[in-house]
Amino acid sequence: MRRIINGLFFLMICIKLDAQLLEKPFIIEYKSGYLALTDSLQVKLLTKPKKYHPLKDYEIIVTGDIAFVNFIESARDKNAKKLGTNFRHDNVYSDFSQQKEYHQIQRHELDNRRLLVERNFPELQFDLYQDSVKILGYTCYKAMPARNNYFNAMVWYTPQIPYPISKHGFTGLPGAILAMESFSHGIRYVSIASSIRPESRIPKKPTKGYPISGKEYVEMMNKAIPENVRAAFTNQ
């Protein structure tokens, strides 16, 4: 086991990738749902509740220096030609050349205000393991957040796609995350890449949402969330 931080980012981008993916924008599509604790990481095994499903499908479009996370709420979203022009909670626009993220966030703690949070790439740390699985033919390795891993979360990344991306934006890991899973009260929540293919759409930098800095957003949330709730998470 070893740890890695985002200081290795520029070395990772230099890793060679399949020429087709480098020459053209490409898209990674993800399906989300539940798996049994003993199930393997396969999309065909995902199950969803009949009445309520908190996990959304999403896609990540990569165009070289830009990665865009687009959450899917309808068939219209999936077929949208103009990416980044609408407001969608949790959508993230990552600019690798500037090392900045633009994150659209709508929080009920802030009276459902629509925000466009601009921040520098976060300095994240992961514990890396030798455990591996195959997803869509790519060899993926296990990693777990080194801090604040409240929900026993783990990710599976592949150095064969050397972009440090996930549904939360930049990760600093030496490869794209093709699966994420967390465990809570015996329930296993999972998102898995279902396809990777060339993509013709080019995402635009988002403009919808009240613009604030990452620091301002943290200050707003600290005021909105009671201190005892923050302390409960901090002390876990």
Q: What amino acid is encoded at 7 in this protein?
A: G
What is the predicted pLDDT for the residue at 110? 86
Query: Mean pLDDT score of the chain, rounded to an integer?
Result: 83
Which residue has tokens 């919808």? 208
What is the predicted pLDDT for the residue at 124? 87
Residue extents of the structural domains in the chain:
2-234
CB contact at 8 A, 102 and 87:
no
For 140, residues 6+ apart whose C-beta sits below 8 A from its C-beta are 132, 133, 134, 156, 157, 158, 175, 178, 179
pLDDT-derived band at 229 (thresholds 50, 70, 90) equals very low
Q: For residue 121, what is the DSSP state?
A: P
pTM: 0.84
What is the predicted pLDDT for the residue at 19? 38
CB contact at 8 A, 60 and 94:
no
Lowest mean pLDDT among 12-16, 116-120, 135-139, 172-176: 12-16
Q: Tell me: the pLDDT tens digits for 16-32?
A: 444 344 456 999 999 99
Lowest mean pLDDT among 77-86, 127-136, 163-172: 77-86
**What average pLDDT does the segment 51-69 reach?**
88
- CA dist., res. 4 & res. 17, Å (int): 21
Phi first, then psi, for residue 112 (nearest 5°) are 60, 30
Q: Tell me: the pLDDT tens digits for 84-105?
A: 888 989 999 999 999 999 999 9
What is the predicted pLDDT for the residue at 7? 41
| pLDDT higher than threshold 70 for residue 165 | yes
**Portion of the chain with pLDDT greater than 90, in percent:** 58
What is the predicted pLDDT for the residue at 74? 66
What is the predicted pLDDT for the residue at 228? 45
Lowest mean pLDDT among 64-73, 127-136, 148-157, 183-192: 148-157
What is the predicted pLDDT for the residue at 111? 87
